[in-house]
Structure 1
Amino acid sequence: MFELNRGLNRHQGLERTGRELVRDIETFVAGTIAASAPSSTPASLIERAWALADYTDWLHWGPSGMPLTGEQIALHAEAAITILRTAGWNPTYPAGRGIRDALTHAQNTDTEHRFSGDTRMALDWIFELLIRALTGAPRAHYSDWDQHPARTVEEVFGLLAAAATFARTYGDPAPAA
């Protein structure tokens, strides 16, 4: 979260450092509140996003050649939600608490080896489809969407929850144990 000496290392005034602390606290609280509310993803959004997909091999096979399941992909998105709930959402580069950062952190700390570049790439595609379905845009990248000044923490958690639902709906089922 906020580093007390951040402002001092950059020779910033105490007033600017105080504003950054307030912003960090506000985004942390907003993320905690948004994450605790039950997410409801309209089925129509998921269906509209799926209808935009003209190529879907990425949902079944990762770039490494390994097979993917919808559950693996969904769990990666949900791990990112947990990380952002804990750290607080702040997608600015210095803060490093956006969707991209949370996905990377989840991948790097996954002790069960469920998450990889494969699950992350599948989420990239899912995010694009969902954002396109929401906005009508012909192309979209989640990192730019995440960092847009008008973005709210509720929208960010909504996108991650919708991605998990999408993955479970259209991804391959987990193999029988």
Structure 2
Amino acid sequence: MTQQTAPTLSAAVFSDETLTAAKVLADDSYRPFWTGQSGEQNTGEAVARHLDATAALLEKSGWSRTMIYTTARTTDLPADDSGMTVKDMVRAVLRLIRDEIEYSPAGRLSLGIALTRVSEGDQGDTDTMSLAGSVLDVVIQAHTGSATARAMPWSERQVRTYQDIVALLRAGARFARTHGPAADDLAEPAAA
């Protein structure tokens, strides 16, 4: 019996033509594309900065295709024994914690979690996170030719690689800088 190996896939390539097609999709959006959930318009540079920071975070923490949330099963927990000493209980708890740390992908983040983490720091907020997701969605829609494609499910496909995710983030940042509004172009908020 011969052993088969999966072919090595290269990182996804997001061409200028893909980004031009993504701009058409953004322009045809049913809502103002660069307006966040706060109701305020954001610059392309702010969204690009969020995407760049996400790539940097994934480089530092590592990428995981999906997040693995493990939970202890009742069979993994020590018996509820009234005869256990406090010392035995502490040992059992420490063993469970050690096992959880050892068998979980410590620090590695999925694309969605990394985008969220950046929104909690000084490189982004919930508006830029939401818009970064929209940018990645139109890039993936243009890349795949599917109007229903979304970046998060695309990033979680089993064939996806870290290089694919970085290429997507870089393409998204390039798109935002090229096609997003500049600070001078932002509409003034309406007076109350």
Provide, for residues 36-69 of structure 1, a one-character-per-residue CA deviation record: whole Å limited to 9, x for no partner: xxxx85321210111223126121x211122200
The equivalences for 1:1-177 within 5 A come to: 42-53=15-26, 54-55=28-29, 57-59=32-34, 61-94=35-68, 95=105, 97-110=109-122, 114-175=123-184
Number of equivalenced pairs = 135
TM-score between both structures, scaled by the size of structure 2: 0.64
TM-score between both structures, scaled by the size of structure 1: 0.69
The alpha-carbon deviation at position 109 of structure 1 amounts to 2.2
What RMSD over aligned residues (CA atoms) do the two structures have, in Å?
2.2
Moved over 4 A (4+): none
Counterpart of 2:174, as a letter, is: T
The alpha-carbon deviation at position 175 of structure 1 amounts to 4.2
Question: Looking at CA atoms only, which structure, 1 or 2, has the larger radius of gyration?
Answer: 2
Q: Distance in 1 between matches of 2:160 and 2:60?
A: 19
Counterpart of 1:52, as a letter, is: L
Q: Percent identity, please.
A: 31
Q: Distance in 2 between matches of 1:138 and 1:66?
A: 26
Counterpart of 1:86, as a letter, is: K
Match of 2:3 in 1: none
Structure 1 unaligned regions, length at least 5:
1-33, 35-39
Greater relative CO (CA pairs within 8 A, separation 6+)? 2
Provide, for residues 113-165 of structure 1, a one-character-per-residue CA deviation record: whole Å limited to 9, x for no partner: x5122111111211111111111112122211111101111111011001101
Provide, for residues 88-119 of structure 1, a one-character-per-residue CA deviation record: whole Å limited to 9, x for no partner: 11122224511111111111122xxx512211
Q: Distance in 2 between matches of 1:82 and 1:88?
A: 10
